[in-house]
């Protein structure tokens, strides 16, 4: 079973220099202009690649470079759920985190883990409740209370929002988010 996370520590500490690394294309990087001064930088791993750490690092590095070139006011980094190495890599050096969760027991569990990590990293955070009108939010509220915070943003369940997201219509997604999930 391969437990490699791609960090390179083994090569750095090998006393005889027996571990060598080679560059291999493991994914792709994309930049899309969504609107005036609104860019989306994202990455995709090659099929079969299990270690995506290098992709996360490269996407983040290039996104930071793009943000500097465009003199962006904000850089938003979206991560996979959880508290694994790739999430930690994405969170290093950030100013603030919006922890997005759903009103489910699993959502409350994962939210608790990420907020604990953020406290240890000393990163300020806010809670965003997705599908806020579906399910029981009490567990999320308990987690928020335990971390001396509250739910800052609520996004209702919206078929229109899901459709816009699936169609990769990010301008419409943003518009729907700003209007509470409905176009009409």
For residues 163 and 146, membership in a common domain is answered with yes
Q: Which pTM was predicted?
A: 0.76
What was the pLDDT predicted at 24? 76
> Which pLDDT value is given to residue 173?
87
Neighbours of 43 (CB within 10 A): 19
My answer on whether 70 and 157 are in the same domain is: no
Q: Identify the domain boundary among 92, 111, 143.
A: 92
Specify whether 85 is located in the same domain as 120.
no
Closest CA to 76 of 184, 151, 170: 170
Give the SS3 label for residue 104. coil
**Which is nearest to 64 in space by CA: 52, 79, 54, 74?**
74
**What are the mean pLDDT values of the chain's consecutive 10-residue runs (184 residues total)?**
70 90 81 78 82 82 91 85 87 93 96 97 96 94 98 93 88 82 60
Assess whether 4 and 72 both reside in one domain. Answer: yes
For residue 168, the enclosing domain spans: 95-184
From the CB of residue 182, how many other CB atoms can be counted at a distance below 10 Å? 11
- Nearest by Cα to 66 from 44, 97, 39, 90: 39
CATH number at residue 175: 3.40.50.300
Q: Collapsing DSSP states into helix, strand and coil, what is residue 94?
A: coil
| Phi and psi torsions of 81, nearest 5° | -70, 160
* CB-based contact 171:35 (threshold 8 Å): yes
pLDDT at 1: 45
Round to whole Å and give the CA distance between 22 and 26: 12
Structure tokens at 136: 């029981």
Question: What is the predicted pLDDT for the residue at 113?
Answer: 96
């Amino acid at each position: 079973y391969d437990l490699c996370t791609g960090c390179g520590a083994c090569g750095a500490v090998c006393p005889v220099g027996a571990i060598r690394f080679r560059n291999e294309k493991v994914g792709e990087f994309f930049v899309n202009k969504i609107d005036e001064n609104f860019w989306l930088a994202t990455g995709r791993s090659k099929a079969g690649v299990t270690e995506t750490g290098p992709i996360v690092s490269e996407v983040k590095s290039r996104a930071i470079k793009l943000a500097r070139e465009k003199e962006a006011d904000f850089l938003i980094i979206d991560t996979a759920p959880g508290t694994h190495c790739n999430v930690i890599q994405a969170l290093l050096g950030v100013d603030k985190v919006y922890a997005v969760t759903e009103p489910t027991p699993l959502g409350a569990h994962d939210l608790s883990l990420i907020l604990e990590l953020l406290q240890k990293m000393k990163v300020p955070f806010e809670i965003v409740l997705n599908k806020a009108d579906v399910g029981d939010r009490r567990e999320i509220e308990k987690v928020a209370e335990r971390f001396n915070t509250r739910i800052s943003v609520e996004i209702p369940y919206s078929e229109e929002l899901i459709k816009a997201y699936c169609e990769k219509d990010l301008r419409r997604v943003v518009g729907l988010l700003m209007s509470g999930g409905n176009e009409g």
